[in-house]
Amino acid sequence: MSDRIRILLFCRAPAEGPEVIERAYHEISKTLADTPGLLGNELLHSLIEDDAFAVMSEWESLEAFHAWDEGPDHKDQTAGLRPYQDRTRRPWDMYAVRASY
């Protein structure tokens, strides 16, 4: 079993279009580039619902994620996507990597 975890943030594009989500994702990703413990992130676009997105970030451990999440920069760094969180569901979820090939 790995210590790596993945966080999924679920978003909905506003009426202005998906470009708003994409711009916010790119801006946030630049600020997170040197975050300790962050292995990377991806912007995922639903093939079923055109306005649905998920941001998947991979962390080396739950402890590394919590250190960032509870740190002073977290809220400011992720503010750009907060208005687009999908409030029709739980807007985020956390998964442990149990197996991979």
Using DSSP's 3-state secondary structure scheme, residue 6 falls into: strand
Query: What pLDDT sits at residue 19?
Result: 96
Hey, which residues does 11 pair with through a beta bridge? 53, 85
Mean local confidence (pLDDT), 89-95 = 93
pLDDT grade, residue 2 (50/70/90)? low
| Mean per-residue pLDDT of the chain | 94
Residue 5 has pLDDT above 80, yes or no: yes
Query: pTM for this structure?
Result: 0.90
SS (H, E, C) 53-84: EEEEEEECCHHHHHHHHCCCCHHHHHCCCHHH
Sheet containing strand 38-45, edge to edge, reads 38-45, 52-59, 5-12, 92-96
